[in-house]
Every structure is written in structure tokens, then in C-alpha cells.
Amino acid sequence: MTATDASSFPTPRTDPGPAYVSRATLQPSPPPASTVGPWAWMRTHLFTGPVNIALTIVIALLLAWAIPPLLRFLVIDAIWTGQNREACIYTPDRTVVGACWAFVTDRAAYFTYGSYPMAERWRVNVFFALLAIGVVWLLNLKAPRRDIGGIYFFVVLPIVSYILLVGAPWLGLRTVETNLWGGILVTIVCSAVGIVVSLPLGIILALGRRSTMPAAKLFSVIFIEFVRGVPLITVLFMASVMLPLFVPYEFQPDKLLRALIGIALFAAAYMAEVVRAGLQALPRGQYEGAMAMGLSYWQMMGLVILPQALKITIPNIVNTYIGLFKDTTLVVIVGIFDFLKTIEAARIDPTWGAPTVSATGYVYAAVFYFICCYLMSSYARGVEARLARADKR
């Protein structure tokens, strides 16, 4: 476009100026066709060189090979409704059977609540809702009054949840023994307790390990090394089988409580080492600077050292959390029915004895664990990005 014809512009200017001065801003010409659009994107990302081209082709073939059968199994041939195995077995009219989602919908309540009494399951729902509110309140930076949110999450929620889930006869909530708990409820309770308890405990242990006080240091080192040196299943097994040998029935702590304590202490030991790595990564100058300003030990840690150390270790902390979340399946060793175990127990039920039932159950478990872990890691990525802004200035 050449905008030199002045008469075509309704310009009010009386003085047209020199003829070689353009009367209007030139429209920018579009970028060359080779640098925009999907083709250009593909050229710069997928087909830059022989290696890249080969990789792209291999991956595309891999996807083409894997996705259609997966889709066919999970969606197209899947069976969505049914009452029992009849829905998911091969018949002369149905020679292809995909995922048996009817099994999952039939047993969804069991996968969520375990054997929690039917009439009391609303209490679990309320607990899930309260927990969700707490998590959103605490993790969403734009939420109002996050200080109250903190009190709610760390003080009110545990007490209310305990009353709700265990029961309180004086409130008209009948007691539900923990041996009836199961499914997602147990998985969430175990990981929530582990996650909430392990970080503060881990920080204290890490500080203890780097402390100059011999007693604190010795205790922390022994605790961390001992717990890390023993497999979690051993701790759980000892707690559930050895304890009854020495402690009379009336004084035995609840089985789930024993497992919760085991998991929390276990996670704390690992968390301590993660936090210690962060503490060690800080240059000495930070400590010396804080001390030179006359800060006390706790001020130094709380205002200068820990904020930096925890920031560095966020990927590792979340890593530990995700590991912990998945490790909660080990409570099955002591006969507690976590989410995965409820699937295990339901899939062998002859009522649902059909070829694809087991696979469907496992797919459901995989999806659940993936969603939970992915949410955790993507939130952590967001936090990292937000904190990294300070470094980019």
C-alpha cells in the first residue's frame, strides 16, 4: 500500500507540506509467511533439524499407536451402566468389551467412604467440603482474611474434622470406629495429616540438626537417621502387631492413629533433610548479616533465613509431599483400607467378575492419583514462579 495520494485523505490541513512527506501513518506490512502461522511454528519447533524431525515422527507414530486403542478401550467400547457382571461380560451380541465403568459407578461410594456407615456419610461429605474451603482459603493469595484462614485451617479444621469423623455422642453424632473408614477418606486423612504435620516438625528437626546445642543436635540426628534407616512398612507393622503384645487392649491407641503418627514422623524426617539442604544452600553472609543487625536466633531464622531457604526448597518439599501422598497406600499393610485397597477388594468381588473390571479399577485409581499429584505440582510451579519474580528484577 502506498499512501501518497493526498487527495484521498480528508485532511483538514491547509499546508500540505513537502510532497515527499507522507500524510498518514504507514500500515505495518505483515510478517513474512514463513515466520507465522501453524506451519512456521511447526518448522521452528518440530522440524528444525534431522534429529528433531526423527524425534517428531517417532513420537507422532507412538501417539498414533497408543491413543486410538486407549480411547477405544476407555470411551468408545466402554460400558457405562449396569448392575453386575452381566453388563460387562462378553455375549454373542457384544464381542468387544471396553472399560467397565459401570463397576466404578456401582462401587464409587465404597471407593470414597469405605465401610463408613451409610447413614453417617454426610459427615464425610461435610469434612471434604470444609477441607476444600480451608485449602482454597489458605492457598489462594487473593482470598480475604488469610490470617483467619490460617487459624481455621490449623486449629478449627482439625478439631471439627475429628468431631465430625470420629463422632461425639454428646452432640448426637454417633461414634464411628476408624476400622470402618476407608477409600478416599483414609487417603485424604493420612496425606493431610502427614503434609500438615511434617513441614513444621521437619523445620524444627532441620534447625535442631544444625544447632550448636549438643542435646538438640544429637536428638535430631538420631531421630532423622533412625527414621530414614527403617522402611515405613516396618514402622507400620511394628505399630500394629507388636504394640498389642505389650499394651493392654484398653490403652492401645487406635490403629489408624498409630498409622497416622507413623506417617507423620516418617515424613518429618525426610522433610528435615529437605529443609536442611535449603539452610545449607544459603551463603554464610546471610546468617552473619542477620546477626550483625542484632536479631535473635528465632528472628534471624524467621525473618531472614527460613524465607529464603524454604523458597529454594519448594520443588523438593512438593516432591516429598507427592511421595508421601502416594506412600499412604502402604497403610494397607496394617489392614487399613485406603483408596487403592478398596479397589483391590472390590475388583475380586464375583458380583463384578468380568474380564475388564480389574483394569478399569486401576485406571480409576491412576486418574485419581494423577489429578491429585498434578494439582499439587502445578500449584507449586505457580508459587515458584511468583517467588522467582524477586530474583528477576
Partner 1 sequence: MKKNMFVSAAFGVAAALIAGTAQAGTLDSVKQKGFLQCGSNTGLAGFGQPDAQGNWTGLDVEFCRAISSAIFNDPTKVKFTPLSAKDRFTALQSGEVDVLVRNTTWTISRDTSLGLNFTGVNYYDGQGFMVRKNLKVASALELNGASVCVQQGTTTELNLADYFRANKLQLKSVTFATSDETLKAYEAGRCDAFTTDASGLYAERLRLAQPDEHIVLPEIISKEPLGPAVRHGDDQWFDIVKWVLFAQLNAEELGVDSKNVDQMLKSDNPDIKRLLGTEGKFGEGLGLSNDWAYRVIKLVGNYGESFERTVGQGSPLKIKRGLNALWNKGGLQYAPPIR
Q: Give the binding site for partner 1 (CB under 8 A).
A: 84-85, 89-90, 97, 106-107, 109-110, 113-116, 118, 177, 179-180, 182, 237, 240-242, 244-245, 248-249, 332-333, 335, 337, 341-342, 344-346, 348-351, 353-355, 357-358
Nearer to partner 1, 320 or 356 (CB): 356
Q: How far is the CB of 342 from partner 1 (least distance, A)?
A: 8
Could you tell me how many helices (H) and strands (E) the chain has, helices first? Answer: 16, 0
The count of other CB atoms within 10 Å of the CB of residue 85 is 18
Contact 185, 117 (CB under 8 A): no
Cell of 363: 485406571
Contact 116, 173 (CB under 8 A): no
14-49 residues labelled b (16+ CB within 10 A) or e (exposed): eeeeeeeeeeeeeeeeeeeeeeeeeeeeeeeeeeee
Q: How far is the CB of 168 from partner 1 (least distance, A)?
A: 19
Nearer to partner 1, 158 or 353 (CB): 353
Q: How far is the CB of 313 from partner 1 (least distance, A)?
A: 37
Q: Could you give the CA distance from residue 155 to residue 266 in angstroms, rounded to a whole number?
A: 23
Nearer to partner 1, 115 or 286 (CB): 115
Nearer to partner 1, 63 or 348 (CB): 348
Q: How far is the CB of 200 from partner 1 (least distance, A)?
A: 33
Nearer to partner 1, 97 or 275 (CB): 97
> 83, exposed or middle or buried, with CB in 10 Å at 0-12, 13-18, 19+?
exposed
Nearer to partner 1, 74 or 180 (CB): 180
Q: How far is the CB of 177 from partner 1 (least distance, A)?
A: 7
Q: How far is the CB of 125 from partner 1 (least distance, A)?
A: 15
One-character DSSP codes across 78-123: -B---SSGGGGS-BTTB-----BHHHHHHHHHHHHHBT--GGGHHH
